[in-house]
Amino acid sequence: MFDELSSRFEDAVKGLRGEAKISENNINDALKEVKRALLDADVSLSVVKEFISDVKDKAIGEEVVRGVNPGQKFIEVVNKELINIMGNENSPLNENENSPTVILMAGLQGAGKTTATGKLGLYLKEKDKKVLLVAADIYRPAAVEQLKTLGSQYELEVFSAKEKNSKPEEIAKEALNFARENDFNSIIIDTAGRLQIDDSMMSEMVRIKEVSNPDEVLLVVDSMIGQEAADLTKSFHEKVGITGAILTKLDGDSRGGAALSIRKISGKPIKFIGVGEKIEALQPFHPERMASRILGMGDVLTLVEKAQKEVELADAEAMQKKLQEATFDFNDFVKQMRLIKRMGSLGGLIKLIPGMNKIDDGMIKDGEDQLKKIESMISSMTLEEKQKPEVLAAHPSRRQRIAQGSGYEAKDVDKVLADFQRMRGFMKQMSNGGMPGMGGMPGMGGMPGMGGMPAMPGMGGMSGNKPMKKQKNNKKKKGFADL
């Protein structure tokens, strides 16, 4: 997400290094590069023009104080303006205190509306809401079954038409009565999508809205359609009246322009973003965090929230104690690997860490493959071997058996064991320096920029035993976070 845009922004700042202050002469090239980068990312032209004008007005004449170079000052201005065009702060869902909160989902076909409905239901369930999903899409084949499948997967009740020829507004009305009678406090209505906006679609949405009187009307928008997403949001709002948007597929090949255009063009906030297929991949939208990701500065708050969601305090304390006492074993290591998987993809997590946005997908793929390899080896160990790694160190025949059982060579097992022992010793010394609440996150070290943490066993510094390519002249290439 935003990798190309981050790289282009970084290039734009290079010409400002060494200047005494930001002036019209030295900022023009940087602004031109930023403008091209935003347009290539499919940001709306009107938004780009306004953004560039605001950055220029606020950056020119900024004096460079000691310890802060013009590039850093320029980034500070860009960061503030990015946050500004995306809405300044998170816009939470509107809630009805006196009756069930009703959320109406709208969007074009193929945007991921039904999937977003299920994920939003789970999001509310995790906030202790009793959620009812309503299947009011009567046109798309299998739409009702898809929602029922999601409901079953997330353990959410789904309401569907009792009569074969029921109209969507009738289904919505019946669902509201059912929800009130059965003490549901959150209702999410999945409506039909179309291949394009038409009068029939809008009229139907208006009728459903009149019947359900929703607290939220959320437009689900596919980020892959680029700047058209902003125009679509504006059109829906003018014809139906929406309260916000959910931007899906932001983890794909989209260039991210929709995230920067929707609020400015439509006047309505992005409330959630979809960043993957997993259940937890629907996230509340925070403009300041998104700006930080765009500028290559990571998103530590989201990373910590993911950790807190998955890690129980008692488990974290127990893991911390094991690390301090160097009794951390292979069973614990597998738990930590599975924790990382629950938090999301390895690549997605790594790129939330400041300064880590330059790790390429090939290295991440190598790391993920190596994790699978290690887990396979651990699965071939006996209970005693998992609990007492030193037993393996003393018996080559055991290591040979594990290699045969997991389909790898003995030297691979030897390396994993040696790396594990080194990591365990290091973690004993550094156990108080890990990620808060995550017991030191064993195995997350060895990645560039992590302050010398050791590699995950057998991972060779997140590169699958391949050394990282050296930058020209042996200089570390700086990202925005390093300037």
Instruction: Specify binding-site residues for GTP.
Output: 107-114, 190-194, 248-251
Q: State which H helix or E strand residue 53 sits in.
A: helix 45-59
CA–CA separation, 52 and 94 (whole Å):
33
Backbone angles phi, psi at 387, to 5 degrees: -80, -25
One-character DSSP codes across 303-360: HHHHHHHH--HHHHHHHHHHHHTT---HHHHHHHHHHHHHH--HHHHHTTSTT-TT--
CA 483/CA 464 separation, integer angstroms: 29
Comparing CA positions, the residue from 143, 121, 145 lying closest to residue 133 is: 121
**Residues 207-238, buried b or exposed e (16+ Cβ, 10 A)?**
ebbebbebbbbbbbbbbbbbbbbbebbbebbe
Burial of 30 (0-12, 13-18, 19+ CB in 10 A): buried
Give all strands (DSSP E) within 358-452, no chain letters: none
Provide the CA 299 distance to its chain's centre, in angstroms. 9
Determine the number of helices (DSSP H) and then strands (DSSP E) in the chain: 20, 8
Residues in binding site: 107-114, 190-194, 248-251
- 475: exposed, middle or buried (Cβ count in 10 Å: 0-12, 13-18, 19+): exposed
d(CA 113, CA 280): 16
Amino acid at 295: L
